[in-house]
Structures are given as structure tokens and as C-alpha cells.
Structure 1
Amino acid sequence: MTNSARIERFDPRRATETEFAGYHAVVAASEAADRPGEPGLPLAEVIGRLTEPLPGMGPAAHWVARRGQRLVALAEVHFLADENSGIALTGITVHPDERGAGIGTALLRAVVPELRARDRRTVEGWQVVAGTAGQRWAEARGFRPVRATARQALVVAEADPARWDVPVPGGYRLRSWIGAAPEDVVASYARARGAIHDAPLGESEFRWPEWTVGRVRAAEADFRAQGIEQRVVAAVHDASGDVAGFTEVCLHPRRPDWAYQRDTAVLAGHRGHGLGRCVKGHLTRWLVAERPAVARISTTTGEDNAHMLRVNRDVGYTTLRSMIAVRQGLEELTARLG
């Protein structure tokens, strides 16, 4: 029963240290239960993401469930923008000790009016761990799996640095930068970022961004505003001077021992030369050499993206677990929840 659990909005701008600690305790307990063996999010990172959502995630709204003064469950919704302005990216987290009592469903019901007010038509969740209570709960409430991704990590102390020594293919050279693409390549870099559109998205309604120079500069500015260091290695085609492929990694200021491997893409006309492994290997070596505190690099890769899974394996990533993205139309969800 949920009669002793109180659902209410949560405003990170007004939260106390005690409330943040309670929020983090729910996150940490859930991670320990569903993602054993992975380092959990530290308190400072949880607070940072609550007070300032990560670039590209859009504005967020939060709800909590309490028993007395103790937080026992959380709901977080990100309202994606631009190509994805119809999606409400939703996560429900219930403390393992409180699962099965209907609290998650009560939270989901509480967020629906806000989704409708913001004109969202689709509810998606991307952080469901395959085979866990979270997947069973989501499917029981009408969500269906639409995409599977592999959660992967490169543990620096266990990696073989020789894997990062990848020759640059003939006819190409490498360019690297931190924070802002050089003016002479930013236009072709924006076009190369569009090559990510070939990466499969399953049946998710999410669509990759349409990259322009303006959008590249805006994304770079968003990273800088949050103190996130973005490193890029690009393969430049000698004959044209254009970026043919790239990879990027981000370092967050609150987690000096961790980095996140973001997009890697190669334009169709330049595939088959090993550029993906080349840029990723060089970026890893560069990062580890200049940021020795980094102990782990994390990434996620679509399970149907066999090529990138192979590239990651060649560089030294291992797969930790499978993640499921789920989806349901808002009208259907509303009907199910009554």
C-alpha cells in the first residue's frame, strides 16, 4: 500500500543538505541493487545534475515520495527540445526496500499532468537495466522495449595501452582540440557529426540532432558553462581538408576520476579505413596521458551497432550490462493509470 507515502514536487533550488543526502541515498541504493560492480554517482554529482541538467537534456522537473521525512522514491522528467520536443524522458527510481508497494506507479501518475501541460505525446525511459525489477515494472505498466544498448567501460588500470597505438590511415591526418573546434574545420566537423544519423535507434522516437556550425558552437558553450571539458580527435581527409570522422569524450568537474565517451562517427564515404578505431585509440591515449586521475571511461552503444561494439572492444572496453529503452504514448499511459 502507498497510504503512508506522500508524493510531492521537489525543487532542487530550495532543497536542503539533508534532502539532497536523502535523494542521493535512494539513487545509491538503487544503483547498488541494479548495477552491481559499477561506481555509483557521488553526492556532488547528483546535486550538480539536479541543480543544472546536463547539456542537451533540456529543462527538468522532479517529484519525490516520502515516508514521514524519509525520501523513498524519485521521479525525474527531462523535457527534450528541438527534434525531440514531443518526448518526456522519464525516470522512476524506488529504493529497493520499498519496491512492490505501488510507490513507483503513484509517482508516474503524479507526473502525467505536467507532461500534458508541456504538450508531450510520448514517454520514454532510457535507463532501465535489462532483466531487473525495473524492466518488469515498466512492461507491466504498458511500456514496451524499443531499443537495447550495451553499457560499457574502459578501466584504465586493466587496459592494454598498446591497443591505443593505431596507425593513421594513408590519406588522412589527425586534428585534436579541447573546448572549441578550430574555425578552419568547424563547418566540415558539423557535417561529420551528422554521420551519427546512421547509428540505429531501434523504435525509439528520439532523433539525432541536425548539426550546424551554430549548433556546434552552442553545444560547446553549454559544456564550458558547466565546467565540462570536451576533447575531440578528428580524422581530416588530406585531399579535401574536411573532417571525415571524429570522436569525443567529456570530463565532468565533479568526477575527476571518470570520463564519458560520447559520439563517434565516420562519414559514409570514408568508412572501411579503420578511422573509428584510429580516432578513438588516439583520444584514449591523449586523455590518459594528460589526465592521469581518470580511472574509468564509460559509454553506451546500441546493441545492434556491431561495428562500434567491435571498435570499442578493440580499444579495450568491456560490456557491463544491457540497458533497455522503453516507450509509451502519453494517451495510452493516461488510460492505463486511470
Structure 2
Amino acid sequence: MDLEIARFDPAAADMAACHDLLVASHHVDLPGEPPLPLAELVGRWARPLPGMGTAERWVGFRGDDLVALAQVNFLDAENSAIGVTHIVVHPAARRAGIGGAMLRAVLPALRERGRRVIEGWEVVAGTAGERWAAAMGFRRVRTVVRQALVTAKADPSRWDVPVPAGYRLLWWAGGAPDAVLDSYAAARGAIHDAPLGESDYRWPRWSPARVRAAEAEARAQGLEQRIVAAVHERTGDVAAFTEVCVHPRRPDWGYQRDTAVVAAHRGRGLGRSVKAHMVRWLLAERPALARIGTTTGAENAHMIRVNREVGFTTLPSMIAVQRAVSPGTRPA
């Protein structure tokens, strides 16, 4: 195979070549969808997005040609047994054992970090990536529905959603107001009801201190973190919220993060209301915003329907795959 694998060296890296490889793969696996711009790739590799822990990378060369990349994110806190691994092989170099060689190259680092489980979250359903994962001993543990709201094609009337009786909306960019911090942290915990399939990933255990830490991490990365929350008038508690982040390196895209409704307040249309008002707020202040992307577990039919009602369209699904780091053991 004549493949040379080495640790990624940021000081010597040809980021344009890395980007070209990823774009070539993207065009095959997700045709018609815009790839990640070079500046965004550089930024993400310099500092992983919030919640993804630290990252290490490997590169694979045939002669002078970069043909493969591997990245492992070492999650922390309640997910410190997982190494989220993404391996990309140039389409022209596939089916030659390169992906398997890259996987074997990252295993020692996973063991050194005490990881029991490898999960891959960026496998496009029905593509060569899914077939490769099965051949490498991975099993599908979750299906993720991808949706996008393309603002130029959306019907603004879908955002004319009233606030349900007994609630008022509160929105902020950056830090949550002190007056609602405790109930907002509790509302973030309501996402624990969202299904995760058979993935070993666990939702964060939110507390006021963890909220403040996450806000500080977003600020440090230059992320514009926006929250629209529904507040219960009688108690003053946050009953629902939605979160969208905009990155300065990609200011025309919004990244939908968590949305949750506290169990006692479900069935009143709060999820649709906060999402619709989020879109209106974003476009009022950022008229050049072209796209908002979101992902939802396939089992969560309610949220998928809410997204469609607000104007999101469905894209090819991703699957999460998993295997044990050490052969012959079962993920625990």
C-alpha cells in the first residue's frame, strides 16, 4: 500500500491540502451541500468546538499526496470513556485498506487516554463510509436526522407563531440573566429525555456553574451564543429554550444547538414558538444569515416535525457507529 502515517504537525501542516481532501470527500458523500470553508477548518482545528474536548490528528501520505486524515476528540466529564473518531480517505484512494490503517494508527492514543469506546458521528447513511465502518467491526448505534433552514427559500409566515398563554419570551446573547440562571440550568437538563439510541454518549449534567463555564468557553472562541427562552409567568421559571450559535469565521451560518422543553410544560407549542422567534431575531439582526443547520435523533419525531413546521428541510441522515477500542471486549 506504500502508506506513510504520521501525527499531524500544525507547524508544518499544509492546511490547504487538508481542506482539499475533505472537500473532495464531501462532494462524494454529501453532493450539493456546501463544504466547510478553509478558514473555518483552520479555526476548528486550532480549537475544537465547545463540548468536544481536546483533539489529536493523523495524516496519511502516499508519496507527496495527502490521501487520508484521522481525528480523535477526547470527550471529558461524563463522556471520558469515549473517543469520537473521524477518518476520511480521498475518494480516489478508497478501497485500498487506507482507512483501516488509519484506524489502527489511532488506537494506541485511545488506549493511552483510557478510552474504552470509539464512536464515529459523521458517517453518512448509505455511503461507502457506512460499509467501511461495518467491515471494521463498528455497529450502528444511532441515526441522526439532519435538517437545514435556507433563509432565501423559507416562508417567513412560518415564523408567525404566538407565544402560548401563560408564558413570555426572554432572549439574550452570551450570559443568561442571573434571575433565571437556576431555572435555565434545570431546563437545559430537560434534554436528557431526548433519545440517544445505543450510543454511550451522555448529555451533560447541567448546573448553574456548568452553564457559566460553557458560556465562558463560547466567548473565548468568539462564538455568538443566542438563547430564546419561554418563561412561565406564574413561577418565573424557564420552561423552554432554544440555542443557536454563529461563528465569526462563518457569519452567514447559524448552528442550532440544544432545544428543550421542561416536561411539565410540554404539549403547549413552546418548542415551535421559541424556534420561530429565534429565526426572526437572528434575521432581524443578521439579514445576511443564509442557513441554520440542526441535527436531531431519528427517534425524536416531535422535534423533527417542529423543525419542519418552522421551515427546515431534511438532508441525508448521519449515523453514529461504535466499537470497543480493544478487540474482544464489549463497550461498558
Compute the TM-score of the two structures, normalised by the length of structure 2.
0.98
**1:74 pairs with one of 69, 75, 85:** 69
Q: Which ranges in structure 2 are unaligned for 5 or more consecutive residues?
A: none
Give me the whole-angstrom Cα distance separating, in 2, the residues matched to 1:115 and 1:202. 23
- Residue 242 (structure 1) aligns with: 237
Alignment length, in residue pairs?
A: 330
**2:162 pairs with one of 157, 167, 172:** 167
**1:291 pairs with one of 279, 286, 291:** 286
- Residue 15 (structure 1) aligns with: 12
Give me the whole-angstrom Cα distance separating, in 1, the residues matched to 2:307 and 2:114. 38
Alpha-carbon displacement from aligned partner over 1:107-131 (angstroms, at most 9, x marks no partner): 1000010000000000000000000
For residue 95 of structure 1, report the CA deviation from its aligned partner. 0.6
- Residue 201 (structure 1) aligns with: 196
Amino acid at match of 1:125: G
- Residue 147 (structure 2) aligns with: 152
* Residue 111 of structure 2 corresponds to residue 116 of structure 1: yes
Give me the whole-angstrom Cα distance separating, in 1, the residues matched to 2:248 and 2:328. 38
Give me the whole-angstrom Cα distance separating, in 2, the residues matched to 1:301 and 1:333. 32
* Residue 95 of structure 2 corresponds to residue 97 of structure 1: no
For residue 28 of structure 1, report the CA deviation from its aligned partner. 0.5
Give me the whole-angstrom Cα distance separating, in 2, the residues matched to 1:281 and 1:168. 10
For residue 11 of structure 1, report the CA deviation from its aligned partner. 2.4
Alpha-carbon displacement from aligned partner over 1:171-197 (angstroms, at most 9, x marks no partner): 000000001100000110000000000
1:142/1:333 contact within 8 Å kept: no
Give me the whole-angstrom Cα distance separating, in 2, the residues matched to 1:200 and 1:83. 17
SS at match of 2:251: coil
**1:276 pairs with one of 268, 271, 278:** 271
> Quick one: percent identity of the two aligned structures?
66
SS at match of 2:322: strand
Give me the whole-angstrom Cα distance separating, in 2, the residues matched to 1:97 and 1:256. 33
Alpha-carbon displacement from aligned partner over 1:43-87 (angstroms, at most 9, x marks no partner): 001111111111110000000101222211100000000000000
Give me the whole-angstrom Cα distance separating, in 2, the residues matched to 1:66 and 1:25. 14
- Residue 331 (structure 1) aligns with: 326
**1:139 pairs with one of 118, 127, 134:** 134
Compute the TM-score of the two structures, normalised by the length of structure 1.
0.96
Amino acid at match of 2:284: A
SS at match of 1:256: strand
Amino acid at match of 1:112: L
For residue 289 of structure 1, report the CA deviation from its aligned partner. 1.1
For residue 293 of structure 1, report the CA deviation from its aligned partner. 1.5
**2:302 pairs with one of 300, 304, 307:** 307
Give me the whole-angstrom Cα distance separating, in 2, the residues matched to 1:40 and 1:288. 23
Give me the whole-angstrom Cα distance separating, in 2, the residues matched to 1:262 and 1:276. 13
For residue 334 of structure 1, report the CA deviation from its aligned partner. 9.1
Q: Which ranges in structure 1 are unaligned for 5 or more consecutive residues?
A: none
Stretch of structure 1 that moved more, 72-81 or 326-335: 326-335
SS at match of 2:327: helix
1:173/1:237 contact within 8 Å kept: yes
* Residue 100 of structure 2 corresponds to residue 84 of structure 1: no
SS at match of 1:191: helix
* Residue 123 of structure 2 corresponds to residue 128 of structure 1: yes
Give me the whole-angstrom Cα distance separating, in 2, the residues matched to 1:156 and 1:25. 28
Amino acid at match of 1:257: D
1:190/1:212 contact within 8 Å kept: yes
For residue 333 of structure 1, report the CA deviation from its aligned partner. 7.4
Give me the whole-angstrom Cα distance separating, in 1, the residues matched to 2:295 and 2:48. 19
